[in-house]
Amino acid sequence: MPHRRERFERSDVPRESAHRNLVALAVLLVLAAGLAALLTQLWRCANADGRVGDAGLGSGISTQAETLDPDEGYEASDDVFTHILVLTVDDVRKSAPTLQRAQLLSLDATKRKGYLVEIPLDVRVEDASGASTLQELFAAKGAQSCIAPLAAACNIRATHVLVATDELWDQVRGLRNSGVSALLDSASGLFSNISTDMSTSQLLDVVELVQSIGVENLDLKDAPADAEDDGDGGSWSRIRQTELGLLVGTLRPTS
């Protein structure tokens, strides 16, 4: 009589069963619900009080002039760039906040590289009223009025502008490894510390671009600049435009 082989079930191998599939489906639904709740909350917080899609900042973006032709021996790159002008202030909710830092976040989607360039606050800018430093212009007329003059000073057009506080960057660093619940709890505080021309979807696009490039691939640089006499007993900085373009990749030597 043939010997019947006994079947042994391994305890370390999950069994295929309706129960197992039901558990997996339940987990998936919980994750989906959490993600939906997160996106809904972020959308609600981001759109509160007009902090995203700011019409004034959008108007400032639209008034930028075309960039000047490169100096002889250089040409414009064919890469696809997103340039975010980041202005750090003491309080975005104040009617007249104080400018504390100016930076250009330049993201090259083609080469998957990025630069965060520190711009001196005493950089020379010019508008219809004449020449001044960036800090002086910001104090007199606000962020909206600084976008086009600063773009002209750098010879790089800003794609978007983000006005934020140092508190925001501290909060973001603190949430680096947080889960859905922590993000939901912090969403209102995060968005209360920014103002931008970007819509929520555009913000998410920028986040995805930064993620695709990798934060570790973002280089921190100082804008190349020279000190000049302002003609009134003081001085200001002037951006070396060609060097800045070569630094972030918008310019390249002609072949």
- Tell me the pLDDT tens digit for each residue of 143-171: 999 999 999 999 999 999 999 887 766 66
Q: First vs last Cα of the chain: how many Å apart?
A: 86
Q: Which residues of the chain have pLDDT under 70?
A: 1-50, 168-192
Residue-range domain boundaries for the chain: 31-253
**What whole-number distance in Å separates Cα of residue 195 and Cα of residue 144?**
11
- Tell me the two tokens of residue 96: 């007249």
Query: Cα separation of 167 and 194, whole Å?
Result: 10
Look at the block and give the residue holding tokens 């709740």: 37
CB distance 37 to 180 below 8 Å: yes
Token pair 């800018």 in the structure block, residue: 125
3-class DSSP assignment, residue 197:
coil
> Going by C-beta distance under 8 Å and a sequence separation of 6 or more, which residues neighbour residue 11?
none
Yes or no: say if 126 and 236 are a contact pair by the CB < 8 Å rule. no
Cα angle 100, 102, 103 (rounded to 5 degrees) comes to: 140
What's the maximum distance between 2 C-alpha atoms anywhere in the chain?
A: 111
Helix (H, G, I), strand (E, B) or coil at 142: coil
- The packing angle between helices 147-154 and 134-141, to 10°, is 170
- 26-32: long-range contacts, CB 8 A cutoff, minimum separation 24: none
Whole-number pLDDT of residue 28: 45
Query: pTM here?
Result: 0.76
Amino acid 31: pLDDT: 45
Residues 6+ apart with CB under 8 A from 146: 60, 87, 125, 134, 137, 138
pLDDT at 185: 55
Asked if CATH classification 3.60.15.10 holds for the domain at 31-253, the reply, yes or no, is: no
